[in-house]
Amino acid sequence: MGPLLCLLSAACFGAMGIFGKFAYDAGVSPSALLLVRFSMAAVVLAGLLALRPVARPPRGAVLTALALGAVGFATQATLYFEALRVMDASLLSLILYTYPLMVTAAAVLLGRDRMTRGRGIALAVASAGTLLVLLGAGGGAVSPLGAVLGFGSAITYTVYILTSDRVVHRVPPVLLSALVMAGAAVALTGKSLVTGGVDLAFGPAGWLWVSGIVLVSTVLATLTFFAGLRRTGPSTAAILSTVEPVITTALAAVTLGELLTPAQLSGGLLVLSSVAVLQIRPAGKAEPALVA
C-alpha cells in the first residue's frame, strides 16, 4: 500500500500543470488561481484537523510554518504558475524537478551532507540533462522568461525545503500543511489588496479546474504523500516521486498535445535517473521527512 500511495501522490502533483493550463483557458488568472488554491486548501485541511485534533506545537514552530507558506511556498507557486503561462507544462515540470539536485548541492555547501563520488557524478549527469532539456528544442521553442521563472521556482523550493527541515519534526504533518497553506493564503491576500484585487468572476469551468488543483494536486497529493511516507520511509518515497514529471509529460501529450523532442526526453531521463540515485541511502541512514 505504501508505494501505491506514493505513486498516487506523484500522479496528483503531476496533474497540477494540466489543471493550470485548462484553468487559464477558462479565464482564470495566475493570481486568482493561487489565492483560491491556498485559501480553499487551508479550509479543507482545517476541517480535517477539526475532525481529528492534534497536540498544539510550540509557538515558534507555528510561526515558522506560517512564514514558510507566506514567503517560501507562495513565492515558489507564483513563479511556477507564471512560468506555466508562457511554456509547456511538460517542459516546466522537468525544469522544476532540478530542485532535488539543488537541495543536495546546497546541503553539501551548508555542511548538512557530504559530497561522495556517486553524488558528484549524479550532479554532473543531471547538469548535462538539464542542458539537453533547454537546448533540445532547436527552434527556440523554450521561452527564456519561462525558463528563468521555472528555475526561480526550483531555487525557491530548494530554500523552502532546507528551511522546512528545521520545523517538520516539531509539527504534525496535517497541521504543518494547514499552517503552510494558511500562511500562503494570507500573503497572497495581502498582495491582492496592494495590487488592486483579484478577479474571481470566472465561469464554472474555471472553478472546476481550480478545484481540481485544490482537491487533487494540493490536499489529496499532500495527504497521500505523507501516508505513503509513513509506510515506505523517506528514501523510497523520494525515489517513487521521480515519476511526477513523467506523469506530467504523459498527461500533457494526451490532453494538450505537448510533445518533447528526443533530445529533451533524453535530458529529462538523465535528470530523473540522477535524482533517483541521489535519493538512495545506505541501510540505516534515513532522511528527514519534508513537506510536499
In DSSP notation, 189-201 reads HHHHHHTT-----
| pLDDT above 80 for 42 | yes
List, for residues 186-211, the tens digit of each pLDDT value. 999 999 999 888 889 899 999 999 99
Residue 71 to residue 55: CA distance in whole angstroms: 25
CB-based contacts of 254, cutoff 8 Å, min separation 6: none
| pLDDT above 80 for 109 | yes
User: Which of 40-44, 127-131, 139-143, 262-266 reaches the highest mean pLDDT?
Assistant: 40-44
Q: Are 28 and 264 in contact (CB under 8 A)?
A: no
Q: How does residue 16 score in pLDDT terms, banded at 50, 70 and 90?
A: very high
Q: Are 40 and 207 in contact (CB under 8 A)?
A: no
Record the cell numbers describing residue 119, joined without a space: 553524488
Record the cell numbers describing residue 246, joined without a space: 513523467
Residue 231 to residue 77: CA distance in whole angstroms: 28
| pLDDT above 50 for 291 | no
Q: Which residue has the higher pLDDT, 262 or 62?
A: 62
Q: How does residue 185 score in pLDDT terms, banded at 50, 70 and 90?
A: very high
pLDDT for res 56: 85
Instruction: Report the share of the chain in percent with pLDDT over 70.
Output: 86
User: Which of 4-13, 94-103, 121-130, 147-156 reaches the highest mean pLDDT?
Assistant: 147-156
CB-based contacts of 34, cutoff 8 Å, min separation 6: 74, 77, 78, 81, 184, 188
| pLDDT above 70 for 234 | no
